[in-house]
Amino acid sequence: MPQSSEYFNAPLRRVAVGNRNEFSQPGVVKAALAEFISTLIFVFAGTGSGLAYNKLTGSGPASPSGLVAAAIAHGFALFVAVAVAANISGGHVNPAVTFGLFVGGNISLIRGVLYIIAQLLGSIIAVLLLTVSTGTWAIPAFGVTGVSVWSAFVFEIVMTFGLVYTVYATAADPKKGEIGIIAPIAIGLIVAANILAGGPFTGAAMNPAVAFGPALVSFTWSYHWIYWAGPLIGGGLAGIVYEVFFISHSHEQVPGDDY
């Protein structure tokens, strides 16, 4: 990344706006493409697993066995999606992860915006491919069930905090050492665990892109703001907490191409 980035001061000294030239840099374009492909893989497998389970059992992911199946499918798919993009873009696969890494100074604003656009497009294309493959436009959108809107909002904040905190601890922390090898599986496992905890109440999105594709294609926007505000707040808080309390800045560096 160019070292002419604009910096903000306390509390996060390394937060950077970036340079407009980033839009045309081949490395940035490749990274955004990697985010697009990884998000497409993740959403296609995760959302598709729900459709497949419903076809096979008629009960959908709301049943106990369906919830377990959804957790396993999303955990495995995210493990792969993060792993295949890790060496290219860092394997964010989630606007909340990108935002959390931005507030920690691990990615510039401009690069982050490109990542988020790519992630949203990946989700949309994945859902459209599912409609073509399955012959149905009845792609279920995320929704709130059995709890209040504000409880669902808190659920998404807390679950995404756990996800992005895991990303920081296993992938972004410069002191991670050999634990970085297990970052993709750790990230997949925390998502699977959170689906088991929050799936019956909010669908456990933890990812605005995952919620956006089905909402756009089915044009279902009820409480959709929860799936943006909750994950972005949770991801941002995780970035601030880990950055301020656990990452040493004795060796300053400009935010890099990935974490």
Using the 8-state DSSP alphabet, how is residue 19 labeled? Answer: -
Asked if residues 207 and 231 have their Cβ atoms less than 8 Å apart, the reply is yes
- Residue 207, Cβ density class (10 Å: 0-12 exposed, 13-18 middle, ≥19 buried): buried
Asked if residues 174 and 247 have their Cβ atoms less than 8 Å apart, the reply is yes
Residue 10 inside a domain? The answer is no
From CA 109, how far away is CA 20, in angstroms rounded?
Answer: 10
Asked if residues 116 and 93 have their Cβ atoms less than 8 Å apart, the reply is no
Nearest in space to 172 (alpha carbons), one of 189, 187, 190, 194: 187
Range of the domain at 101: 20-245
State the pLDDT at residue 204.
95
Split into its structural domains, the chain has a count of 1
Local structure of 99: helix, strand or coil: helix
The model's pLDDT over 7-50, given as tens digits with 9 standing for 90+, comes to 344 446 677 776 777 666 778 999 999 999 999 999 999 999 88
Residue 65 inside a domain? The answer is yes
From CA 135, how far away is CA 91, in angstroms rounded?
Answer: 31
Residue 13 inside a domain? The answer is no
Residue 200 inside a domain? The answer is yes
Percent of the chain with pLDDT over 90: 71
Residue 61 inside a domain? The answer is yes
State the pLDDT at residue 9.
42
Output the average pLDDT for the chain: 88
Percent of the chain with pLDDT over 70: 86
State the pLDDT at residue 1.
36
What pTM did the predictor assign?
0.89
Residue 155 inside a domain? The answer is yes
* Residue 10 token pair: 């306390």
The model's pLDDT over 142-191, given as tens digits with 9 standing for 90+, comes to 999 999 999 999 999 999 999 999 999 999 999 988 889 999 999 999 99
Residue 5 inside a domain? The answer is no
Residue 179 inside a domain? The answer is yes
Ramachandran assignment for 160, one of left (phi > 0), alpha (psi -120 to 50 degrees), beta (any other) = alpha
Provide the residue type at 241 as one letter: V
Count Cα atoms within 13 angstroms, Cβ side, for 118. 27
State the pLDDT at residue 3.
37
The model's pLDDT over 71-102, given as tens digits with 9 standing for 90+, comes to 999 999 999 999 999 999 999 999 999 999 99
CATH number at residue 189: 1.20.1080.10
State the pLDDT at residue 10.
45
Query: Which of 15-19, 23-27, 225-229, 240-244 is most confident?
Result: 225-229
